[in-house]
A and B are shown apart, each in its own frame.
Chain A
């Protein structure tokens, strides 16, 4: 399952770090962050609660850049 989320992030390198952080979250199969369009596309593992995973993704992203935001 693939989903696209709107994000808020200030610098392009932070966007790359968000992508890394999201990829490392359990339940996330693949993730791509586009700084220019401020979009995060996440592919989830089969049969997983996307909402719960995204909460964790946001938490992990906040750790690397406290200013970032994901609109879940």
Chain B
């Protein structure tokens, strides 16, 4: 609890106590004394609101809630003096209003803290060894390529590669995955994880500002600035709601009495109608509406964060709930993306030599294929042997190795070059190699499907996804087989990177406007597609800042099931949002009608008002705390 909240709580208790005591013991006191005592209680609970109301008038803000509350309560006091002598009503209205405000501020503070803890992954320092001694340094000051020391129990401050030591690291803050991961020298390690068992020496590969942890914090801190339609709606509603209620209150105070007086020959009965108008003012504060919506979204984003799903703003959460089309990238998303060389055929030279040429030609590429070639070759590559590397996007690479012209690529590349290649009947990616324009054989590289891909697609179908599509640059034969195994509805193979974008646009054009299309990729080479889709979700994005930037949703680990989970969270969250909108507006409208008819008095009005807010807030936080999604 903050100081402000504590003070308010004391004021609430004092006023409540005082009012009860006055109600029991002062019923027989002289009228002036009673008025004075009740007025004291009134001032204790409402002095800050009165001050704010004055400021509102000074700054020409007629629809300031504080001002309206003051008008309503002072009006009630005046009626009490003049008619009933019941001052408790005015005090109760203020009291409950303050209780509502207090509860709101407490709940909001609590959930803010909850989410802040969730994202409490900012490392405070990095250890650097100097003259045999460890020194703690601000991670901002560490240069790329420095060696930092991470002791057991410490958070990894900067992305890097392990030089010495092995350990288990806990990635749960980043991925939601509770199983620790074992690391050894040569492994990449990502900032934000916690080193659990052994001492690690890590050579940094990035500056702190570019490290995963900084990127994530930036993303989380700026989440929610892009507002959803529901939020915009409620803001617009709040803007007209208060003035509308105030004008109807005015009308209610003036029109019925005059009608009674002039047209019905009845007593004007101003007292009753003014009281009803004041009841209106009590319900004029739109706060219950305005708080519950962003709070619900905040809860949804927080909940997703807990599961290792980062959502960049409530607008994406809202769109995600309407997801009907899921377009997957194949490599690295549905398959492991860990390519292995599974065969070398029709080669004119020994396997090792062919592998070496292919690996050298691909040495500048970041594509997984190049990694797997290098892995299969096993020995160190001498990069000075390769020159003039030219990449033909989606086709292949040409390069010179020791004076030989090497061309490495797919069959269409071989066709382009006019080389007689031999087709392969194996499933996988086939890398053809030509040396000095002569065919030299091909290498089969194949990928394996992730263990959860099939379950993920099944789950997606269950939660209302109408179509799943897979896009790949791979051969149709390979793609079809994988799609069949996983249960994907449509496959588009043989696509160049630009082809993926145009295919995606084609699908988007043919779908109903209100259905959301989600593209899921691993962030390598598909940033344009990520940003083109209604929602771009980058998967396994730890360490890939380009993907974090281009995507709207970042799935921290590379399990496709997380996508189904993200959609489930968003659906639940939107359901709560609609629930709150309907509930809050509904109750307010009913109160207004009952108030106008004279059924609801101020007590009921303020109870309804505060009650709605409390229920809406509790409901909003449901998504953050429910166990199962």
Q: Which residues of A contact B (CB under 8 A)?
A: 4, 10-13, 16, 32, 34-39, 41, 63-67
Residues B224 and A16 in contact, CB atoms below 8 Å apart: no
Report Cα–Cα, A25/B349, bound state, in Å: 74
Interface centre among B101, B112, B225, B235, by most A CB within 10 Å?
B225
Tell whether A13 pairs with B105 under 8 Å between CB atoms, given A34-B225, A66-B55, A67-B52: no
Residues of A close to B396: CB separation below 8 A = none
Q: How far is the CB of B281 from chain A (nearest CB, A)?
A: 15
Residues of B close to A65: CB separation below 8 A = 52
Report Cα–Cα, A36/B297, bound state, in Å: 10
The answer to the question of B29 belonging to the interface, with a C-beta cut-off of 8 Å to chain A, is no
Q: How far is the CB of B417 from chain A (nearest CB, A)?
A: 48
A-B contact pairs, 24 of them (CB 8 A): A4-B221, A10-B105, A11-B104, A11-B290, A12-B290, A13-B290, A16-B235, A16-B239, A32-B225, A32-B227, A34-B294, A35-B108, A36-B111, A36-B224, A36-B297, A37-B221, A37-B224, A38-B112, A39-B222, A39-B224, A41-B222, A64-B59, A65-B52, A66-B55
Residues B59 and A36 in contact, CB atoms below 8 Å apart: no
Report Cα–Cα, A45/B159, bound state, in Å: 36
Report Cα–Cα, A41/B55, bound state, in Å: 26
**CB < 8 Å neighbour of B225 from A10, A13, A41, A66:** A41
Residues of A close to B239: CB separation below 8 A = 16
Report Cα–Cα, A41/B221, bound state, in Å: 11
Complex: chain A residue closest to B241, CB-CB: A13
Residues of B close to A66: CB separation below 8 A = 51-52, 55
B564-597: contact bitstring with A at CB < 8 Å (1 yes, 0 no)?
0000000000000000000000000000000000
Residues of B close to A32: CB separation below 8 A = 225-227
Report Cα–Cα, A10/B108, bound state, in Å: 10
Report Cα–Cα, A57/B221, bound state, in Å: 22
The answer to the question of B199 belonging to the interface, with a C-beta cut-off of 8 Å to chain A, is no
Report Cα–Cα, A12/B620, bound state, in Å: 14
Residues A13 and B59 in contact, CB atoms below 8 Å apart: no
**CB < 8 Å neighbour of A12 from B55, B64, B287:** B287
- Additional A-B contact list (5), CB under 8 Å, known A10-B101, A12-B294, A34-B294: A12-B287, A16-B239, A35-B108, A63-B61, A66-B52
Complex: chain A residue closest to B61, CB-CB: A64
Interface size of B by CB at 8 A reads 32
**CB < 8 Å neighbour of B295 from A16, A36, A38, A67:** A36
The answer to the question of B238 belonging to the interface, with a C-beta cut-off of 8 Å to chain A, is yes
Residues of A close to B51: CB separation below 8 A = 66
B43-85: contact bitstring with A at CB < 8 Å (1 yes, 0 no)?
0000000011001000101001100000000000000000000
Complex: chain A residue closest to B48, CB-CB: A67
Q: How far is the CB of A61 from chain B (nearest CB, A)?
A: 11
**CB < 8 Å neighbour of A39 from B61, B108, B225, B294:** B225
Query: Which 7 A-B pairs rank lowest in CB-CB distance, beginning with the nearest?
Result: A36-B298, A12-B290, A63-B59, A12-B291, A66-B55, A34-B224, A13-B290
The answer to the question of B223 belonging to the interface, with a C-beta cut-off of 8 Å to chain A, is yes
The answer to the question of B286 belonging to the interface, with a C-beta cut-off of 8 Å to chain A, is yes
Tell whether A11 pairs with B101 under 8 Å between CB atoms, given A36-B295, A36-B298, A66-B55: yes
Residues A13 and B294 in contact, CB atoms below 8 Å apart: no
Report Cα–Cα, A38/B294, bound state, in Å: 12
Report Cα–Cα, A16/B112, bound state, in Å: 18
Tell whether A13 pairs with B224 under 8 Å between CB atoms, given A36-B108, A66-B55: no
Interface centre among A12, A16, A35, by most B CB within 10 Å?
A12
Residues B287 and A13 in contact, CB atoms below 8 Å apart: yes
Tell whether A4 pairs with B222 under 8 Å between CB atoms, given A13-B238, A16-B238, A16-B290: yes
Tell whether A11 pairs with B221 under 8 Å between CB atoms, given A16-B235, A32-B227, A63-B59: no
